[in-house]
Amino acid sequence: MSNTPKIIIVLTLITLISGAVLALLDSYTRPKIDNYRKIQENQAIAEVLPENDRINEVAKDGYVFYEAYRKHELVGVAFQVSGGGYQSELVLMLGLSPDFSRIIGLKILSQVETPGLGTKIEKDESNKEDPGWFINQFKDLRTLPSISYVKNASPSRDTEIQAISGATVSSKAIVDILNTHIKKAKAARGIE
């Protein structure tokens, strides 16, 4: 008698048990992961928007906008953007002035760029005085006509940032993501 039916039965049982265990673990961990992501998102929103009394959530054309109000005045708008980096998807929370002409703040939510090079977009360990210098460049940066970057030089315009040496692709990716999504989000909100 052949062992083939026995092997098929054993492998089928192993597959069913493994699938059931994975489904059980997923049902246990998914709510915790989703809750953690929501906490991260709320912290990022608070970081990239100015002080406010309340935040309204508005969905339009594929974007979820977080509108910050002080008294009855709109003081900023935040939304999540993403796009391809050098070797991973970059997920960012972007805070803008109400007319989208100036970046209030930028926070990286997720990135898996090259350790020691591309990861400097979030924290540059080699810069002891200001490890967050790259992201800090975006604060109060003008967005019109578009954001650009320079290599191995200090920015000379109020729409420029300095790219990271050795991680130009990651630096350029953030600039491209921002330019693309700012343009699309402006259209979604009806801002000219």
What pLDDT tens digit does each residue of the chain (192 aa) get? 578 889 999 999 999 999 999 999 999 999 999 998 889 898 999 999 988 889 999 999 989 999 999 999 999 999 999 998 888 899 999 999 999 999 999 999 988 777 777 778 878 887 888 888 899 999 999 999 999 999 988 888 999 999 888 888 888 999 999 999 999 999 999 887
Check whether residue 139 and residue 63 sit in a common domain: yes
Q: What is the pLDDT of residue 16?
A: 95
Query: 130 and 75, same structural domain?
Result: yes
Do 61 and 36 share a structural domain? Answer: no
pTM of the predicted protein model: 0.81
Tell me the residue range of the domain where 35 lies: 1-47
Relative to beta strand 63-70, strand 54-60 is: antiparallel
Q: What is the pLDDT of residue 1?
A: 56
Whether 95 and 181 map to the same domain: the answer is yes
pLDDT for residue 164: 85
How far are the Cα atoms of 65, 89, 106, 173 from residue 81, in angstroms, in the given order? Answer: 11, 10, 10, 12
Domain count, the chain: 2
**Same-domain pairing of 59 and 25:** no
124 and 43 housed in the same domain: no
114 within 8 A of 87, measured Cβ to Cβ: yes
Pair (134, 40) in one structural domain:
no
3-state helix, strand, coil in the chain (%, to 5): 40, 25, 35
Same domain, residue pair 110 and 16: no
Query: Do residues 69 and 140 share a domain?
Result: yes
Distance CA 181, CA 149 (A): 17
42 and 53 assigned to the same domain: no
Q: Does 106 lie in the same domain as 70?
A: yes
Rg for the chain (alpha carbons), in Å? 22
Contact criterion met (CB below 8 Å) for 124 and 131: yes
pLDDT in the model for residue 172: 92
What pLDDT score does 99 carry?
A: 94
- Which of 47, 62, 77 terminates a domain? The answer is 47
77 shares a domain with 161: yes
